[in-house]
Every structure is written in structure tokens, then in C-alpha cells.
Structure 1
Amino acid sequence: MSDGQRADARRNYARILAVAEEEVAAHGSGASLEQIARTANVGSATVRRHFPTRRALLEAVSASRIAALCARAAALTGEEDSRKALLTWLDEVVVYCVSARGLAAALSYDGPAQENSCSAAIEAAGEPLLRRAARDGAVPPDVTVADLITLIVGIVLATEHHPDPATRADRLFRLAVAGLSPGT
């Protein structure tokens, strides 16, 4: 491959990614790959060469948001109140997932064999927060970051078509955190 072809491929990738970000923001994880190709002025095969699966496309579109959530987890790790730090971060994950259509789908699992770089990054980032909260007795020791992200993904996907998805997702997340038993 010549340098000109590589430069063209890089330009195509950047154009496809920019269009995909807009399409996913407008239509969520079900954004049309064909529409992305048309708008980016490339063929469908070019889109599929850069993003062989819908998950690959969603992960690329979500990469900067995932990086921001990971950085935020690191910043909160040193907070004095470990439960508050963990819940602050999880609340921010909910807000990001609601506002960034497609992010919840990028974090969802397709099965045990599915490699998911977004979930892996989030789990690694949240692990120190959760471990500290568990050590302090603020959360049960058997809870995993994967459990918490699965809960958030479920809430976000269940509320994405609600007239006010942010408020509804926040309410359900708070209910999950508080539990159903009064005074606990």
C-alpha cells in the first residue's frame, strides 16, 4: 500500500467516524451503516473494512466518552468517602449513557465469548473504586463492576424511549441503589 493510499484510508476512517458519531447520536445503536456510508461518501464495503461489526463502530464512536469516564474514576479513587465516590462515578456513567446514545449498547454484553473493549476499560477503571468501597463495608464484597454496569445498561436501554429518559433513568438508578426495603 502506498503512502497516498494509507492517507486516503486515514481520511476515510476519520470521515466515517465523524458521520457515525452524528448518526449514533441521532439514531442510537441502530444507526444505519448504509446511511453512514452514503453521508461519508464512501461505499458500504469501506465502512465494513474499517468497522467489521456494529460493535466495533459503537466502540470507536464511544472511545472518547469511555476515556473520560475512566479518567473520572481515577480522579475519584482518592476521595475520602468511598461509597460516595463510587456512587458519584456510577451516576456519571448513567448520565453519559443517557446523553450519549449508543454508549449503553457499546457497554452491553453479547455473550461470554464477546470481547468488549469498552466494558473492559470501564471495569478496569471502576475496580479500584469498588474494591475500596467493599473494603470499607459500603457495598457487599461480592458485587462486581460488571454487575453494576449491567444494571446501568439495563436501566438506560429500558428508558431510552421514555419522554424524559434522563429523569427516568436517574430515578431507577436511585431506586436500585436504595433498594426496596425501607430504612436500609
Structure 2
Amino acid sequence: MRADAKKNYDHLLAVARDVVTEDGVDASMRDIARRADVGLATLLRHFPTREALFEALMCSNLDALTQKADELETSKSPDEALVSWFREGVTFVQSYRGVVDLIASAHADPDSALYTSCAAVHTVGARLLLRAQAEGTARADVNGDDLFALMSALGWLADQSAFTPRADHLFHVIASAIFISPSSNDAKKARGRLDR
């Protein structure tokens, strides 16, 4: 891609990210083009379909989430890495209204443009979970599918205005359920782990 084409592509993606953050996955392609100060034809030249636009938006975020898992795996203890990554994942799914439906369906559809990135996120989440389980800090009856589903569920709850004020509390409840109940001596340490 030429430098000017790459600059235009990045600009359109940045504007699309802002519009989708504000309006959710039902954001108008015309509105994105208007706010990017380009014609609809220019937007469609870069992103010929709505799915192509969301693929570009979601894949960059999902790929960053995968990379974050790799960083945390080498820099944090297993339980801290899992909680930090899980929080990053929940933050991502809460960032775009309606994204939960996209990633939940893409996760099970090998023909989806988002499938590869969703599968990579699922794999690294499962790997972080297995590390914490091997250390004895995470429940053995939780698997990667459960982790992905819980992340999606917390993202969905944030889309519901009645639950928005309790989003952080609900994160703590769900994250606490992933870990083995600490003894009374370890309660403060566990609480600190979740607050990071």
C-alpha cells in the first residue's frame, strides 16, 4: 500500500473507531464517510462492505488483546496475568455497543472474517487460564470457552443501562469466581489481585 493510501486508510479507520464507539455496531457508513470528510465511494473503496470495516476494526483490537496476553505471560504471575488480561478483554467488548454479538457468532463460524482473530483470543485466554490452574490459583472446572463466554457476558451487561453502574462490581464477582476461594489469610491478597 502506498504511503498516502495507508494514511487515508488509517484516517478512515480512526474515524470509524470513534463513530462506532459512539453509535455501536449500527453506525452508519454514510456518517463515517461524512465525519472523515470523504465521499461514501472513498470509504467503500477501502472497506467495500460493512463486514470489511468491522473486520478491520475488530481484528486490530483482537490482535492487540492477543499480544497483551503474550506480554502478561512473561511479566506477571499466572493469576495476575489472567486477571489483567481478562480485564483488558472485558474493556474491549464494552468499548463498542453490539460487538458481543459479532464476536460471539464469529467465534463459532470458521467462514467469518473475524474467526481467526477470535480464535487467537480464545487460545491465549485458555493458555493464561491453564497457567493459573497449574499454579493452583484458578478453578479446574473452568475452561477457555467459559472464559470467553464470561468476557462476552460482562460486555453485554455493560450495554444494558440498568447494569452500567454496577459494571466494576460485576467484574469483581465474575473474576473472583474464576479463582479458587482464598483462605481468610489470603483474602486481602486476592482482593488486591482483582483491583489491579
Query: Per the alignment, in what secondary structure is the counterpart of residue 71 of structure 1?
Result: helix
- Whether 2:121 is the aligned partner of 1:125: answer no
Deviation of residue 30 (structure 1)? 1.7
Q: 1:16 aligns with which of 7, 12, 17?
A: 12
- Number of the residue aligned with 1:69: 65
TM-aligned CA deviation for residue 172 of structure 1: 2.3
Q: Identify the match of residue 112 of structure 1 among 95, 109, 117.
A: 109
Q: Partners in 1 of 2:152 and 2:76 — Cα distance?
A: 28
Distance in 2 (alpha carbons) for counterparts of 1:79 and 1:8: 38
Cα distance in structure 1, aligned partners of 2:76 and 2:32 = 46
- Write the mapping of 1:69-108 to structure 2, written as runs, cut at 5 A: 69-78=65-74, 81-98=77-94, 100-101=95-96, 104=100, 107-108=103-104
User: How far apart, in 2, do the equivalents of 1:141 and 1:90 lie?
Assistant: 17
Q: In the TM superposition, what is the alpha-carbon distance from 1:80 to its structure 2 partner?
A: 6.5
Query: Alpha-carbon deviation of 1:11?
Result: 4.8
Q: Deviations over 1:110-134 (max 9, x none)?
A: 4534342431332243243122123
Q: Secondary structure at the match of 1:77?
A: helix
* Pair 1:152 & 2:146 matched: no
- Root-mean-square deviation (CA, aligned residues, Å) is 3.3
Change (3 A) 1:139 1:65: same
Rounded Cα–Cα distance in structure 2 between residues aligned with 1:75 and 1:11: 28
**Contact map agreement 1:104 1:153 (CA 8 A) in 2:** yes
Distance 1:70 1:63 in 2: 10
**Gapped runs of 5+ residues in structure 1?**
none
TM-score normalised over the length of structure 1: 0.71
- Higher helix fraction: Structure 1 or Structure 2? 2
Q: Write the deviation string for residues 77-113 of structure 1: whole angstroms up to 9, x where unpaired.
A: 1466423321221022223333x32564553324534
Q: Please say if residues 134 and 141 of structure 1, whose CA atoms lie closer than 8 Å, have aligned partners that are also in contact.
A: no
Q: State percent identity of aligned pairs.
A: 34
Write the distance in 1 (CA, Å) between the matches of 2:119 and 2:42. 27
